[in-house]
Chain A
């Protein structure tokens, strides 16, 4: 058996399977964006000229930006304790990260419904304390979506942050201490800049994930704050305009592709250092 046929024998099955069941149908769907209802770039013009589509894009970018900032910040705080805390703290933090990570997205969204809905725990407490007479609308709106997505994405931000915090050279911190820098100064002027690649990596991972989110916004947004993924779903299944749905999908894919290229560059630069 020559090397070429050996190679094909090993890598062939997966590639064939993916090509037949994913790649070809994928390109087929993408092609609709320039063929339905008529050949040409009409659907892209329609998508980019439609105020509804544009407002969904704007909302998606806004929600993703807020979610990215929130989840990376919260992940940084908890990762710091995971990497630099004492043994007991590390175990507790690890459990707080791993348990939500392994629990299904549906259970987690349901938990937020139980907390935030009009008859939920938070409104119940606030009313019992006499702070509120009318329940606050915390869910089935953008607020609920942001809370749910942030909660889902924190563990994904923790892993890149942890790996970059672990590479920080202890001696640099000791040198700073030796020269009389305060704890605050060591943290803000040395530790944080040294973990910048991790922060950027975590932000990109979270942003890319958030862009294509479907399940959490559909449950916690209640159809009111529609994001791109749900818009694609609506254009394909509810009010069929397959060409437009495909065009929006292509725009989303291009955005995700660009961000991933950025992430790869980041990873390579990090590795080269």
Chain B
């Protein structure tokens, strides 16, 4: 690594990019302490009124709770189905595996607006036959999210499976293990980290999902991002800054903890 170590110019340019990346995140912080009711930078006096609004207005808590529930259901469904699918592809290596994979990944690669339209019309027609999995219900949103996030789980679990040594599965099989023994006793223990990662990532994707949610909800199933969207479109509400600061704090804490753990692990290994 002695050749082409970044010189001062490269470091300076990278620092500019880093500033560009962090600038809008930092800018949210002062705005969240503004004493006014519109988007502004506080001059002198700081106020916690927008943080108080988050607590006093029950819409925020119920939005967050709805998003958590939808996220857990959607990511459980998506990870479960994706796990079965990826196991099937890996163990049986069927013909047309590429085509099947393509179908499974379609919601990830199609433009979100096209998926949103599709799911909107599908949920509208479901509304005519039931009131549970329907337009503007939590179960309808969870179903739509499960479809949108399942491809990500498929990708992560397939990557985890590709690192498993096929010979251990062959050994189990030659010693007479059945399908479920091979899956539960041999393969799953080897990819449990991949499954957990898939569950975590799909939960976060559902928690943040707005592109599709926007189309399939109106006034009942108001998730947290949907609530933020409403405050962003017309009159910009500084409460958005306050909720953003709260959400960013969570992300920063999680990322910092993860980095710290990885560094410590790296040091332990020497």
Contacts and interface: CB of A to CB of B under 8 A. Distances in A.
Contacts of A173: 3-4
Nearest to A172: B3
B94 interface: yes
B118 A106 contact: no
B143 interface: yes
Given A77-B17, A81-B6, A186-B3, A106 B229 contact: yes
Interface string B224-248: 0100110011001000110010011
Interface in A236-273: 236, 245, 249, 252-253, 256, 260
Given A7-B88, A23-B106, A77-B13, A106 B232 contact: yes
Contacts of B251: 99, 102-103
A106 B210 contact: yes
A109 interface: yes
B88 A22 contact: no
B119 to A, nearest CB: 7
A38 B108 CA distance: 32
A253 B110 contact: yes
A15 interface: yes
A147 B18 CA distance: 14
A245 B117 contact: yes
A22 B118 contact: yes
Given A18-B107, A99-B255, A10 B87 contact: yes
B181 interface: no
A167 interface: no
Interface residues on B, range: 35 or more
A98 B11 contact: no
B106 A15 contact: no
Interface stretch (B19-27, B54-62, B161-169): B19-27
Contact of B121 (A10, A29, A218): A29
B131 interface: no
Interface in B81-131: 81-82, 84-85, 87-89, 91-92, 94, 100, 103-104, 106-107, 109-119, 121-122, 125
Interface string A82-106: 0011100101111111111011111
A196 interface: no
Contact of A22 (B11, B119, B225): B119
Nearest to A19: B103
A7 B97 CA distance: 11
B5 interface: yes
A10 B118 contact: no
Report the 3 A-B pairs with minimum CB-CB distance, sorted nearest first: A212-B111, A111-B24, A10-B88
Interface of B: 1, 3-7, 10-11, 13-14, 16-18, 20-28, 30-31, 38-41, 81-82, 84-85, 87-89, 91-92, 94, 100, 103-104, 106-107, 109-119, 121-122, 125, 143, 146-147, 150, 154, 179, 204, 208, 210-211, 214-215, 225, 228-229, 232-233, 236, 240-241, 244, 247-248, 251-252, 254-256, 259, 263
Given A25-B121, A85-B14, A97-B21, 12 more contacts: A1-B179, A6-B179, A10-B84, A10-B91, A15-B100, A15-B103, A17-B81, A28-B118, A106-B210, A107-B247, A120-B27, A208-B109
15 contacts: A13-B85, A21-B147, A22-B119, A26-B115, A29-B117, A95-B255, A95-B256, A100-B21, A105-B208, A105-B210, A106-B208, A110-B244, A111-B23, A186-B4, A215-B229
